[in-house]
Amino acid sequence: MKSSLQWMQDYVAVDMERDPQEFADVLTMAGIPVEQVEYWGNDIQHVYTGKILNIVNHPNADKLVICTLDLGDRRLTIVTGAKNVREGQIVPVAVHGAKLPGGVTIKKSKLRGEVSEGMLCSAHELGLEDGLLLPEEREGIWILPQDTPIGVDALDYLQLRDTVYEYELTPNRADCFSMIGLSREFAVLSQQKAMFPEITVAESEEPINGKVTVSIEDEDLCTRYAARLLTHVRVGPSPLWMQQRLRKSGVRPINNVVDVTNYVMIELGIPLHAYDYDHVDEHHLIARRAARGESLKTLDGVERTLTDAMLVIADPKKACCVAGVMGGINSEVTEDTRTVILECASFKGSSIRKTGRALGLRSEASARFERGLDAEGCLRSLDRAAQLLQQMSACDVAQGIVDIYPQPQKVQHIKFTAAAVNRFLGTEIPAERMIAILQTLGFGIAQDGAVLTAVVPSWRGDCTEMPDIAEEVARIFGYENIPSTRPLSNVSEGQEGYRHCICEKISSILSGSGLNETVTFSFMNSDSLRKLQFPENRSALSSRSYSESDYRRISVDAYDADSVVDGCACP
């Protein structure tokens, strides 16, 4: 999981003047380990946005052209060999004295006799990896949107100057695989209150009822399945700010519909998937187990053979998606898509993990499903995706949601007292401080005299008893603030057991009399069974240390015989 501090500003007022590594250490001490701090754009200087006014061929080189650029307050002449430059384009321009990644300094120079006052930059030259770029952005100069202002700092406009935390989260903290979840941690550790986006959807008069149907055939593997219908969809590129936030999170932008599903997954922590409505037979999506030998070509272009232990999302005729892992090409959203079924579901984490391993396939979505997700957040995620697409004028949203939720998630209540928590931790933290910590983390608190009842939020499935509450209090209070004490225990001197003592004496006497002691394995193979004329229909071990030892040893004779043979074979 990665998080941009610029993006985090949407939810918590991050002190951007504070040393990022210092706050990373605070998060780590609080149980949110930061594995790495990435400093985006720190080594890039003097790169601006410029508009290409004129392009002429280089008089002394067939593969070079001379561009005249407007940088707002000046004009520059730059020689380039890029094949994708056109008049009227807006591009990033590194001027004389500019610094680029890798210690590169741009200087005014002559190329085949013509003065070049800088360099036109590709996305790769500004520090972006090819895996985070659209195919058309990987070659040639980075062509910026036409509404890009001219003459401004390119890194500031492109939001490439940022600090990004990469986390190594423990499996029990599924809630922190989202910007919202992390913002709660940022807020409580900086003694603030996190602000979350207001989600509203302007639905059209067209109802979803009768146009989309969803059903669950295996409630053990799928506990909730919900969908929205998006009409009059206009597929295109997503806004630059969204693309950059996705890139900083390690996700490549694709198009506005797919980007919004990925954005909401990172923001709220619950994956979504979009289906082309016209490619879903009968407009009916079913969460079921795959048929043995059933195949599906996934979005990465690989034909995958499924087993009946795997969950798929299918229409009445075919599988459309490996549930929680990756969608299928047969229902992919493309430029021709006009209507979309937007899915949000809750799948069994262990099933998704086993499916991903069996297929050798892991995705950002499966990494979240594996840890267990908040089923209560499905509708909120659908609404957030619909809201973002509406703000881009990319679709209309049909009225209503289809939602199958056979066994709603139960609310967990944990009773405790401040005295019990303090005894457990060895602290003297006031009850008021405990309440403030828990409320900032999203817990509800009810008080009846000295007894406190914590209402565990739906996204904190890892909290089930008082010690879990104590842990939440301790990590935010600060482990370094808890005094160290020597644990009290009754210590007894270790002594050799009577049976072991007798065995050692007998072994010593026999060895001293000229006998040899043989120590062999507790397992034997099929050849040894045949030598002893035992039947081979015994159950083999399903898990073993040595491939040649399939059976539990039933007699010492076999290994003694083998040991004698091996000993005689030695020179």
Identify whether 197 is part of a domain: no
Specify whether 436 is located in the same domain as 454: yes
**In the listed set 353, 373, 404, which residue is the last one of a domain according to the structure?**
404
Specify whether 288 is located in the same domain as 379: yes
Specify whether 177 is located in the same domain as 29: yes
H-type alpha helices, 30-117: none
E strands, 21-103, are: 34-40, 45-57, 65-70, 75-80, 90-100
543-566 pLDDT, tens digit each: 444 445 556 666 655 555 565 555
Nearest to 298 by CA among 351, 226, 363, 216: 363
**Which has more confidence, 255 or 546?**
255
Q: Is the dihedral of CA 38, 40, 42, 43 positive or negative?
A: positive
Specify whether 94 is located in the same domain as 167: no
83-117 pLDDT, tens digit each: 999 999 999 999 999 999 988 999 999 888 889 99
122-137 pLDDT, tens digit each: 999 999 998 899 888 8
Specify whether 143 is located in the same domain as 60: yes
User: Please, which pLDDT band fits residue 537 given cuts at 50, 70 and 90?
Assistant: low
Distance, in Å, from the CA atom of 51 to the CA atom of 123, rounded to the nearest integer, reads 16
Torsions phi, psi for 53 (to 5 deg) = -90, -35
Average pLDDT over the chain reads 89
23-45 pLDDT, tens digit each: 999 999 999 999 999 999 989 99
Whether the per-residue pLDDT at 415 is higher than 90: the answer is yes
Distance, in Å, from the CA atom of 559 to the CA atom of 571, rounded to the nearest integer, reads 20
| Owning domain of residue 520 | 516-569
Report the length, in residues, of the chain: 571
The mean pLDDT of 145-166, rounded to a whole number, is 93
Domain count, the chain: 5
369-389 pLDDT, tens digit each: 998 889 999 999 999 999 999
Whether the per-residue pLDDT at 398 is higher than 60: the answer is yes
Specify whether 250 is located in the same domain as 186: no
Specify whether 167 is located in the same domain as 233: no
Distance, in Å, from the CA atom of 273 to the CA atom of 258, rounded to the nearest integer, reads 8
The mean pLDDT of 280-286, rounded to a whole number, is 95
| Token code pair at residue 352 | 């998704």
Distance, in Å, from the CA atom of 115 to the CA atom of 67, rounded to the nearest integer, reads 11
pTM: 0.82
Cα atoms in the 13 Å half-sphere on the side-chain side of 198: 1
Specify whether 238 is located in the same domain as 354: yes
Place of tokens 């295109």: 236
CATH number at 173 reads: 3.30.56.10
Residue 459 near residue 269 (C-beta atoms within 8 A): yes
344-357 pLDDT, tens digit each: 999 999 999 999 99
Q: What is the pLDDT of residue 269?
A: 93
Chain centroid, CA 103 distance in Å:
32
Residue 487 near residue 443 (C-beta atoms within 8 A): no
